[in-house]
Amino acid sequence: MDPVGQKLLQIAKSQLGYAEKSGGYTKYGDWYGKHVDKGSYYKTAPWCDMFLAWAADKAGVEDWAGQFASTPEHALWFQKHHAWGHKPEPGAIVFFSFSGSKSIGGIEHVGIVEKVDGHTLHTIEANHNDQLLRVTRDIGQVVGFGYPAKVKVKGKQIPGTERKVEKTEQKYVPRHSAPPPSVTSLVTDSDPATNIARTSHSTPDRPSPLIEQGAALTGLLAVVVFGTAALAIAKSKVKVPVPSSGVQLRKRGRHHRVPVELPADVTVTHLDEADASTAVMPALTATAAAHAEDREFWGKIAELEEDAELAFWDSLHSVAADTRPMAASSRSGTSRGR
């Protein structure tokens, strides 16, 4: 259906049954003479087309339907706007000639198509037997049709074709609820517990916890191996000092202090007993404390001597020491031969 003609039909249906007054007066002719073409003549003039002008004004489609009192001029207007044709359809403006003429100049009457049934048209027409009525017509009486929706109006959209804007469904959000955390805040969270769980998904330029732990273990193992070797070599060169009666001698080093003489009432035996006792020792002098620290250091060395790895490095050191005299003697013999 023609969308503009559909609006005209709605107005026309609301006016069905209207009849002209005495002397041929109609409210449609009266309106036309005041708003479209000034003159009192139109109050009692034939009103079939003036009714369509009034209906177009009420529907707000006058730019597409036109406003005329002369039916031939109205048909020429549709033809000028390339909205003229011979195919019946609901909502089209239909122009008749009862003399059988097929020219626009022979048009005698006008109406609006409500329904098409084969060669039969169901129309709504003003000034039919002086009334506004539904009429059944044979298509043979038709000169042509005007199609309001085909009239192009500059800067305006055809009424009835506007897109319906669907209301966007709004989700309920509690008034006092806090906004959801952003991705950035989750990534940059300073909580250590959450950072540990996220480390495996962090940026590629930062190693994962497994890689960092592996590197730490490897470094620790290297420290243990080389530290054991260093202690073995140091053991071969360091001689445990033999204390004289009453005097504890010490070598100067990182973990050693300058040797001092023990007090007369403190002996090495006292220190051993104090070290083995679980009771709290009475306060000792600074010299006794230093002696206890020194004994602890050499006790650690004794534990290392029992270690299997240290034994390996110790044997390796011994073999290396045994081969040095042989190499020296071979070199001296070679030099003497020369």
- The whole-number pLDDT of residue 63 equals 96
pLDDT tens digits along 220-248: 566 555 666 666 665 555 555 545 444 44
State how beta strands 109-117 and 120-128 pair.
antiparallel
Sign of CA dihedral 48, 50, 54, 60: positive
Q: What whole-number distance in Å separates Cα of residue 266 and Cα of residue 246? A: 9
pLDDT tens digits along 256-271: 455 556 777 777 777 7
Q: What whole-number distance in Å separates Cα of residue 46 and Cα of residue 128? A: 10
Q: What whole-number distance in Å separates Cα of residue 63 and Cα of residue 196? A: 73
- The whole-number pLDDT of residue 277 equals 63
Of the candidates 316, 147, 293, the one whose C-alpha atom is nearest the C-alpha of residue 229 is 316
Domains of the chain: 3-150 (3.90.1720.10), 212-327 (no CATH)
- The whole-number pLDDT of residue 119 equals 94
- The whole-number pLDDT of residue 283 equals 52
Q: What whole-number distance in Å separates Cα of residue 12 and Cα of residue 2? A: 15
- The whole-number pLDDT of residue 154 equals 93
Residues of the chain with pLDDT under 70: 162-261, 275-285, 301-311, 313, 323-338
